[in-house]
Amino acid sequence: MPVVVQGRFINDSNTSQGLGNLPVNATVFGQNNWNNTTTNGTGYFSMNVTLPCGDAEFNMSINGNGTVTKAIEFTSSDALIIESAFVNAMPPFQKGSSFLLELTLKNDTGAPLVNKSAPVLELFKENSGPTTSITSVNMSNQTNSSGSVRYNLTIAADAASGIYIIRVNNRYSRAFMVSSALILVGKPEDNEGSVRPEFGAGNNVSIVVLVRNNNTLNDSVTVTAVVIAPGGNNTNVTLYYDSANSQYVGNYTPSNTTSGDYSVKISGTLGSETASSFVSFSVSSYRISLVPETGIFEEFGKKKAITPGGQVRLALAVFNNTNDELISNSVVNCTTLTLVNVVNTGNGSSYNSTVASSFNTSTTALYGGTPTCRVMFDAPTNAGLYAITVKLTFDGIEKETTSFFRVQNFLLNVVPTSDIGVADVMAFSPSTNITFTLSAYNLSSRSALSGTLLQDIAGVSLMPLMMSAGSNFTAPTVTNTTYGVSSPTITIEVPVTTGPYILTVRANASGELIDGEAFFLTKYVEGFLVAGGMSAMM
């Protein structure tokens, strides 16, 4: 592996003076590969040094004129690109639990490193150095055909809460949180039980706290809450246990004269276990949201998007925070509505200048039957998911809101198919295989895209819609894919757990990556209600 070593030799009595024409050599300790060069007139040198291939730590010695020596420590690796993913659960992880981590190793061109020895994971506690509270075991000795290898990490029951760091090859790090078995989650609710981030002055704010200990409900936790108002005034809120809803509840009414951002510190104690959480809300006269108008999207199957360069129309909904009523554009001055930012969320590129040239707020939209401001502009021509942020000035207060829109050339439809070829079948037995048929639509030509153009078909995620303890997003187990045919397919293994799921599939359509989703159920018994006591169908 060739590398370039550059440096400069200077006069120690005059650091601005370089030592020219100085013989320089370098060697890697333990290797028989000396390299020689000479400094230029100002003392600089540059030389090529060949390093051994593979993962290792090396010491190099740079020597000038046989009298001045500089030692360099470094690490070399074929894996210049390292990607990681949590497989069966997402942080924060609880003490005493285990989780799977997948590493994917690639070379400098992005090609996977196949059959490469699994690297050793180094584990650290933030600000505390190496830790033995978490152990890792690689589930295979070498990477697979995708350059991936999985590790099972186990967290000790007495591990300290906080941030831990996984380090690979001295150059890649991934941080994650370890939490107490006691978990508090807070949320601000109105009198109707709806979670909301903003309230009007004088409105009651219900501080609702959900408590779990080792993933189970617990009504024996001592829970306290402190509301910190703008300006730093603190108010203790008494919480009571609502047994009907298995949650702790306290009430707080902000001052009629104090607008701004409020934060709530929630603390819980159960024996020796402690936990804390924060929740926030704001108090102001109004709130806003930016909502896409109906009819601006092209639809195919269960997917929809805007064509490149197509017109985007968004309605600005302005609500009175005190009574939740919509405020019409006869009261709101739409000319104060300005563009803040437009970003492609995939690569972070700004499209401000592209959108600004067609940005218009002079027309009226309807939201909930109320006339309101409309934001209208031409979409970028590049495919991607975009975030647009606008700012409104009303009642002497500036508010920003963000909305999202997707621009695509193609849409992907994913349909589950039974083993007898019946499409759109939704119910399947656990632990079997399901085949999904893919089709695509060209938004520009408004016609079907040939299935032969769909390549690189892969399962992205499998999401359970009935979250039970320990359930999470997972990568589906793909058993087969067919592409380059008129009706490409992907086959996955059905989860053992019964319930509803959403599968996300990704394909490459003429160079554009597109996603599609499919809904399905897993259950052992299928039946329906009939008169006369007929038994369920198996």
Q: What is the pTM of this model?
A: 0.59
Cα separation, 116 vs 509, in Å, equals 31
Hey, how many other C-beta atoms are within 10 angstroms of the C-beta on 366?
Answer: 11
Cα separation, 446 vs 451, in Å, equals 15
pLDDT at 509: 92
Q: Which residues of the chain have pLDDT under 70?
A: 1, 29-35, 51-58, 74-76, 79, 215, 301-302, 418-425, 467-473, 525-538
Dihedral, CA of residue 488, residue 493, residue 497 and residue 499, to nearest 10: 10
pLDDT at 133: 94
Tens digit of each residue's pLDDT (9 = 90 or more) over 54-97? 666 667 778 777 777 788 776 667 767 889 999 888 888 888 88
Cα separation, 352 vs 426, in Å, equals 43
Element (H, E) at 273: strand 273-283
CA atoms within 13 A on the CB side of 257: 1
Q: Which domains does the chain show, CATH number per domain?
A: 2-76 (2.60.40), 81-179 (2.60.40.1930), 182-283 (2.60.40.10), 287-407 (2.60.40), 410-522 (2.60.40.10)
Hey, how many other C-beta atoms are within 10 angstroms of the C-beta on 441?
Answer: 23
Q: Kindly tell me the sign of the dihedral angle through the C-alpha atoms of 304, 307, 309, 310.
A: negative
Cα separation, 186 vs 133, in Å, equals 29
**What's the mean pLDDT when you consider all of the chain?**
85
Tens digit of each residue's pLDDT (9 = 90 or more) over 221-251? 899 999 999 988 899 999 999 988 889 999 9
Place of tokens 């000479």: 38
pLDDT at 30: 59
What 3-state class would DSSP assign to 334? helix
Tens digit of each residue's pLDDT (9 = 90 or more) over 46-65? 887 776 666 666 677 787 77
Cα separation, 100 vs 87, in Å, equals 5
Q: At 514, phi and psi to the nearest 5?
A: -130, 145
- Taking alpha carbons only, the member of 177, 216, 215, 214 closest to residue 91 is 177
pLDDT at 170: 75
Q: List helix spans (H) across 297-395.
A: 352-356
Cα separation, 17 vs 43, in Å, equals 8
- Taking alpha carbons only, the member of 173, 131, 174, 139 closest to residue 155 is 131
DSSP string covering 373-403: EEEEEEPPSS-EEEEEEEEEEETTEEEEEEE
The terminus-to-terminus CA distance of the chain in angstroms comes to: 63
Q: At 356, phi and psi to the nearest 5?
A: -60, -30
pLDDT at 56: 64
* Residue 202 per-residue DSSP state: T
